[in-house]
Structure 1
Amino acid sequence: MKQAKITVVGLGPGRFGLITLESWQLMQQAKNLVLRTRIHPTAEEIEKRGLTFSTYDGFYEEAPDFETLYTHIAKDLLRRAEEEGDIVYAVPGSPLVAERTVVLLREMAKASPVTVEILPGMSFVEVLYTRLGIDPIEGLTILDAEDVNTLKDRPAQSLVITQVYDPIIASDTKLMLMDLYPDEYEVTYIHNLALPDESIRKIPLYELDRQKDVDHLTSLFIPAK
């Protein structure tokens, strides 16, 4: 009996054209295409091109926290692969950049008859390097907004904060960063990167939670200076 397989692909940082050709071809060929969420700019474009898919958006309403949510998704993917056969699982950005479900899926698959293959994809950071004109080889720390409290000292290198996804997280992030940086420290606010209405603007740190467009496509760049 053939062993079931889950192939994980990335949807890119937002614009449909940033999906890799390899990933797009696999999505087109998939009998079972599953997106972690349809709340991603490319989901509508995928539908326009005639592909059908299921998502885990319903799981978001039931889970008490993100770790529980991502664990449930990983377990369900393995269950579905055993029952239904091969799955192509598509996640926002790159599968191994800030994608907890993929980390959990890879670990859980070790005790499962299902194999997991993870393909490379473009993440938002490649676009960010280009837009800001920075070279990551000079040093860059990337953190999820919920992990900012792990910073005990001001980093020697520049800092990127991802998933500043609502005003509450923005406020918490601002307060934690203000323990390390001056209130008026100039930071770069990044919204809808790689989309037609992309906005990249410099603001003082204390104004972070006053921005009107904070959502799941908001990030922050803090230069080392």
Structure 2
Amino acid sequence: MKITIIGLGSSDVDQMSLRIYRALQNSEHLYLRTNDHPAVQMLDDEGIKYESFDHIYEANDTFTDTYQTIADILIEASKDKDIVYAVPGSPLIYETTTEMLLSHAKNSNDLEVEIIGGQSFIDVCIAALEIPVNDGFQILDGSNLRFADFNHHQHTLITQVYDLFSVSNAKLELLEFYPHDTTVYLVDKAGSIDQRIIKAELSEIDHNVPTSNLMTMYVPKVESNALDNRSIHHMNDLFNTLVGEDGCPWDKVQTHESLERYLIEEAFEVIEAIETEDDELLIEELGDILLQVGLHAAIANKDSYFDFYDVLSRLNEKLVHRHPHVFGDVEAETTSDVHQVWNKQKEKEGKEARVKYEKEYADIILPWMKETIHNKRALRDILEGEN
């Protein structure tokens, strides 16, 4: 059994290679992932019979289910005949059904998959939008966007945007990172005679959206201090600069020991912000705690002991290890259950004795810190009243 996967390219049939054209003409059993492609008109004009899977999209709730259903149908159809399966663009660029078929072929001895590539949407989008890829370039999947993937120092193409719903979902994710007035683009049928480019502010990009299987979103590279300031990497660079040879005269001579008092001071100020229920002050004071972490890490990095990312790595490992009820198969339904799990995980780390003393210290020190803060505020009120 054999499935030949053909890429129809990203635009008009004029861009199609002779090999692909002949493969379509000679196919006896042709399947299309979708008939929403300029090449389909050529198939109709030449009387080439095919079966499309557009109806599968309507019958499933998720793209994963849709693509798995298509792959299953193709595998079943290929059991008694060789078939040709045509997809938009290139079969190897963001084509989930190709991945599923290749995976099946790899794990079985009864299926052969041949791929005949077509022009990728990437090439035509770059040309249509005149993207300067040498400045930095990335491609993201619009159906699985994450805040951590965004990089405003890179020109970004976002695939898997087909309609108003998918474009709106991508917009909402992007708004978590980019300012609402960021200029973005939608390009539909790039490279074809029907090419259309929509330019708008991010907050309005879903106001005039076509439904198209050949649509891509583009977010240009942005130079922005505001976006830099939201980056943990930028923060780390700032601290390394401060303690470096050309850095701040005060910062670059600090040691872990010389900074001890400041960590205590900042802890007091965080508690005071909490006690006064001042959110803006709490933002600032939590930042000052992070300042202490960043400065300690930069000092250690200068001496080649560890760096900020070592601290992050240890923290993330600890979070996962101590939450097996979230990231593993341990059950914990109540707060009491969680405490037991937490302490059990600490025991595995050999920190059970430390847990006891840490709790005793906190029980003594925290009330004292709160009383000190209250007395400080009371004294300040008295002094301000005298003035």
Settle same-fold status: TM greater than 0.5. yes
Tell whether 2:82 aligns with 1:97.
no
Output the CA distance in 1 between the equivalents of 2:50 and 2:211: 28
Tell whether 2:177 aligns with 1:176.
no
Other-structure match for 2:21:
24
Other-structure match for 2:78:
81
Output the CA distance in 1 between the equivalents of 2:158 and 2:173: 12
Q: How many residues align?
A: 221
Out of 99-108 and 30-39, give the one that drifted further: 30-39
CA gap of 1:223–1:70, structure 2 versus 1, over 3 A, is same
CA gap of 1:64–1:172, structure 2 versus 1, over 3 A, is closer
CA gap of 1:135–1:49, structure 2 versus 1, over 3 A, is farther
Other-structure match for 1:69:
66
Other-structure match for 1:125:
122
**Higher strand residue share:** 1
CA gap of 1:223–1:72, structure 2 versus 1, over 3 A, is same
Contact 1:154 1:181 in 2 (8 A): no
Contact 2:185 2:205 in 1 (8 A): no
Structure 1 segment 1-225 matched on structure 2, within 5 A: 4-83=1-80, 85-110=81-106, 111-149=108-146, 151-213=148-210, 215-225=212-222
Out of 135-144 and 61-70, give the one that drifted further: 135-144
Contact 1:164 1:214 in 2 (8 A): no
CA gap of 1:61–1:134, structure 2 versus 1, over 3 A, is closer
Output the CA distance in 2 between the equivalents of 1:56 and 1:215: 15
| Unaligned ranges ≥5, structure 1 | none
Give 1:5 deviation, angstroms: 1.4
Output the CA distance in 1 between the equivalents of 2:150 and 2:129: 24
Output the CA distance in 2 between the equivalents of 1:12 and 1:101: 16
Q: Which of structures 1 and 2 has the bigger CA Rg? A: 2
SS in structure 1 at match of 2:44:
helix
CA gap of 1:106–1:203, structure 2 versus 1, over 3 A, is same
Give 1:7 deviation, angstroms: 0.9
Contact 2:6 2:20 in 1 (8 A): yes
Contact 1:154 1:180 in 2 (8 A): no
Output the CA distance in 1 between the equivalents of 2:99 and 2:117: 14
TM-score using structure 1 length: 0.89
Give 1:92 deviation, angstroms: 0.8
Runs of 4+ aligned structure 1 residues displaced above 6 Å come to none
Output the CA distance in 1 between the equivalents of 2:102 and 2:40: 24
Q: What is the CA RMSD across the aligned residues, in angstroms? A: 1.9
Q: Aligned letter for 2:89? A: G
Contact 1:78 1:109 in 2 (8 A): no
Give 1:137 deviation, angstroms: 4.6
Other-structure match for 2:354:
none
Give 1:20 deviation, angstroms: 2.0
Output the CA distance in 2 between the equivalents of 1:139 and 1:207: 26
Output the CA distance in 2 between the equivalents of 1:68 and 1:213: 24
**Higher helix residue share:** 2
CA gap of 1:31–1:144, structure 2 versus 1, over 3 A, is same
Give 1:151 deviation, angstroms: 3.5
Q: Aligned letter for 1:36? A: R
Q: Deviations over 1:175-221 (max 9, x none)?
A: 21112111111122212322323222432111111124354333211
SS in structure 2 at match of 1:161:
strand
